[in-house]
């Protein structure tokens, strides 16, 4: 049986993240996800991947972990997800503590969706060259998992390097919150197998998703990892009953229905509509 969640850019002009999370839980959904951009450079050298002008909400969203924390404090059951955290914009030791603290305070309800980012200027403002974004992401996540699981953690890589440290609290979830890779890139499927617990792409044509799933299975087989250990989630921008059923047939078990950034009353109406779709499946 599939789990349905909600995702939204929670902004300074839309419904508050705590109000959104409470409404999501009241309607029986299983999760709420928030995206991340620390800022948007005024330079538009990097084009918006989906084409056209960059939507307003990208530069108006609340801080990811403050939004997640307010959501966690207003709920008791639903998962609280990063959809996605841009790892290139975080110090790994600080990020490890943030996520572990939130997992502890939410009683083990965090899902850490991750990405490297698409805006070259944005990550360069954080000191990460665009061409190194995935190497940085991989090393930082591996270092974070060491901190989550070892009392005296150390990591010595090309881009992340620290001697043994103490860093508590540890996450409530054994091994730490599940890390889901939020990328459609074929190359990212090997990264899923290497250091993630799940794959969390955005909506794409069925044929493309089928192809990626075959590639993901092959990547898992090459290193002896059971494909079934990889959770399959997907973010949908225009959900309907038929599309959701087709994705479940493909093996996706967590369907996250993206909602536009709007005031409270409009969002609540949309959540009711989304809940009626989920109830039919």
64-83 confidence digits (pLDDT tens): 999 999 999 999 999 999 99
pLDDT surpasses 90 at 153: yes
Q: Is the peptide bond before 220 cis (omega within 30 degrees of 0)?
A: no
Q: 184: which 2 tokens? A: 């459609």
205-219 b/e (C-beta count within 10 Å ≥ 16 → b): eeeebeebbeebbeb
118 vs 12: CA distance, rounded Å:
23
Tell me the pairing of strands 153-156 and 161-165: antiparallel
Q: What is the mean pLDDT of residues 110-118?
A: 98
Q: 52: which 2 tokens? A: 């056209």
End-to-end Cα spacing for the chain: 9
Per-residue pLDDT at 74: 98
Share of residues in the chain with pLDDT > 70 (%): 100
Q: What is the pLDDT of residues 230-275, one digit of tens each?
A: 999 999 998 899 999 999 999 999 999 999 999 999 999 999 999 9
pLDDT surpasses 90 at 1: no
pLDDT surpasses 90 at 279: yes
Per-residue pLDDT at 50: 87
Q: What is the pLDDT of residues 185-224, one digit of tens each?
A: 999 999 999 999 999 999 999 999 999 999 999 999 999 9
Q: What is the mean pLDDT of residues 161-173?
A: 98
Confidence tier at 151 by pLDDT (50, 70, 90): very high
Q: What is the mean pLDDT of residues 8-16?
A: 98
pLDDT surpasses 90 at 102: yes
Per-residue pLDDT at 149: 98
What mean pLDDT value characterizes the chain?
A: 97
Confidence tier at 2 by pLDDT (50, 70, 90): very high
Confidence tier at 56 by pLDDT (50, 70, 90): very high
Per-residue pLDDT at 131: 97
pLDDT surpasses 90 at 179: yes
Per-residue pLDDT at 139: 98
Q: What Cα–Cα distance (Å) separates residue 69 from each residue in 63, 140, 257?
A: 10, 22, 21
Per-residue pLDDT at 44: 85
Confidence tier at 14 by pLDDT (50, 70, 90): very high
């Amino acid at each position: 049986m599939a789990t349905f969640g909600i995702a939204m850019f929670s902004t300074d002009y839309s419904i508050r993240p705590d109000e959104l999370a409470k409404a999501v839980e009241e309607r029986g959904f299983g999760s709420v996800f928030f995206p991340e951009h620390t800022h948007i450079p005024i330079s538009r050298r990097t084009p918006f991947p989906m084409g056209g002008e960059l939507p307003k909400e990208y530069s108006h969203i609340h801080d990811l972990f403050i939004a997640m924390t307010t959501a966690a404090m207003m709920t008791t059951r639903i998962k609280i997800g990063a959809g996605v955290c841009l790892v290139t914009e975080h110090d790994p030791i600080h990020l490890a503590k943030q996520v572990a603290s939130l997992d502890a305070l939410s009683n083990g309800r965090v899902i850490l969706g991750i990405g490297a980012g698409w805006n070259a200027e944005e990550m360069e403002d954080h000191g990460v060259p665009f061409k190194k974004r995935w190497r940085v992401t991989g090393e930082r996540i591996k270092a974070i998992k060491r901190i989550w699981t070892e009392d005296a953690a150390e990591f010595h890589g090309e881009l992340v390097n620290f001697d043994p440290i103490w860093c508590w609290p540890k996450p409530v979830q054994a091994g730490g919150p599940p890390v889901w890779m939020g990328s459609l890139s074929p190359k990212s499927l090997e990264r899923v197998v290497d250091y993630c617990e799940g794959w969390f792409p955005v909506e794409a044509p069925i044929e493309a998703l089928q192809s990626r799933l075959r590639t993901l299975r092959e990547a898992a087989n090459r290193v002896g990892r059971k494909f079934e250990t990889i959770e399959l989630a997907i973010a949908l921008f225009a959900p309907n009953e038929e599309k959701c059923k087709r994705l479940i047939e493909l093996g996706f078990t967590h369907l996250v229905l993206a909602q536009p950034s709007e005031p409270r009353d409009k969002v609540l109406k949309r959540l009711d509509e989304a809940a009626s779709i989920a109830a039919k499946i």
